[in-house]
Homo-oligomer: A and B are copies of this chain.
Amino acid sequence: MNVYRYEQNPLVTPSDVKPHRPDFEVIGAFNAGIAQYKDEVIMLLRVAERPVSEDPEIVKAPVFNVEKNELEILELQLSDERYDFEDPRVIRKAGSEQFVYLTSLSYLRIARSKDGREFTIDPEPFIYPSNDLETFGIEDPRITKIDDTYYIYYSAVSPAGVGESLVSTKDFKNVEHHGMIFAPENKDVLIFPEKVNGKYYALHRPVPKSTGAPEIWIAESPDILHWGNHKYLLGLRDGMWDDGRIGGGAVPIKTEKGWLELYHGATKDNRYCMGAVLLDLNEPSKVIARSETPILEPEADYEVNGFFGNVVFSCGALVEGDTVKMYYGVSDTSMACAELSLSEILASLTEV
Residues of A within 8 A of B (CB): 97-100, 132-133, 157-163, 178-186, 204, 206-212, 215, 217, 219-223, 225-232, 235
Q: Are B210 and A99 in contact (CB under 8 A)?
A: yes
**With A160-B215, A222-B222, A222-B223 in contact, is A208–B185 under 8 Å at CB?**
yes
Q: Are B179 and A229 in contact (CB under 8 A)?
A: yes
A231→B133 CA distance, assembly (Å): 8
Q: Are A232 and B99 in contact (CB under 8 A)?
A: no
**With A162-B210, A211-B161 in contact, is A226–B232 under 8 Å at CB?**
no
Q: Are B226 and A222 in contact (CB under 8 A)?
A: yes
| Residue with the greatest number of chain B CB neighbours at <10 A, chosen from A181, A225, A228 | A228
Q: Are A98 and B232 in contact (CB under 8 A)?
A: no
A223→B225 CA distance, assembly (Å): 12
Q: Are B211 and A162 in contact (CB under 8 A)?
A: yes
A230→B225 CA distance, assembly (Å): 10
A133's contact among B133, B209, B232, by CB below 8 Å, is which? B232
Q: Are A229 and B178 in contact (CB under 8 A)?
A: yes
In the complex, residue of chain B having the shortest beta-carbon distance to the beta carbon of A221: B226
A184's contact among B100, B159, B163, B212, by CB below 8 Å, is which? B212
Q: Which residues of B contact A180 (CB under 8 A)?
A: 228-231
A207's contact among B179, B209, B222, B225, by CB below 8 Å, is which? B209
**With A161-B212, A208-B207 in contact, is A230–B98 under 8 Å at CB?**
no
| Residue with the greatest number of chain B CB neighbours at <10 A, chosen from A209, A215, A225 | A209
Q: Which residues of B contact A161 (CB under 8 A)?
A: 206, 208, 210-212, 232
| Residue with the greatest number of chain B CB neighbours at <10 A, chosen from A162, A182, A232 | A232
A97→B181 CA distance, assembly (Å): 28
A178→B230 CA distance, assembly (Å): 10
A163's contact among B97, B100, B230, by CB below 8 Å, is which? B230
Q: Which residues of B contact A184 (CB under 8 A)?
A: 206, 208, 212
Q: Which residues of B contact A159 (CB under 8 A)?
A: 211-212
Q: Which residues of B contact A228 (CB under 8 A)?
A: 178-181, 225-227
In the complex, residue of chain B having the shortest beta-carbon distance to the beta carbon of A232: B160
In the complex, residue of chain B having the shortest beta-carbon distance to the beta carbon of A187: B210
Q: Are A181 and B211 in contact (CB under 8 A)?
A: no
Q: Which residues of B contact A183 (CB under 8 A)?
A: 182-183, 186, 204, 206, 217, 219, 230
A160→B215 CA distance, assembly (Å): 8
A229's contact among B217, B225, B229, by CB below 8 Å, is which? B225
A182→B182 CA distance, assembly (Å): 9
Q: Are A207 and B204 in contact (CB under 8 A)?
A: no
Q: Which residues of B contact A229 (CB under 8 A)?
A: 178-181, 225-226
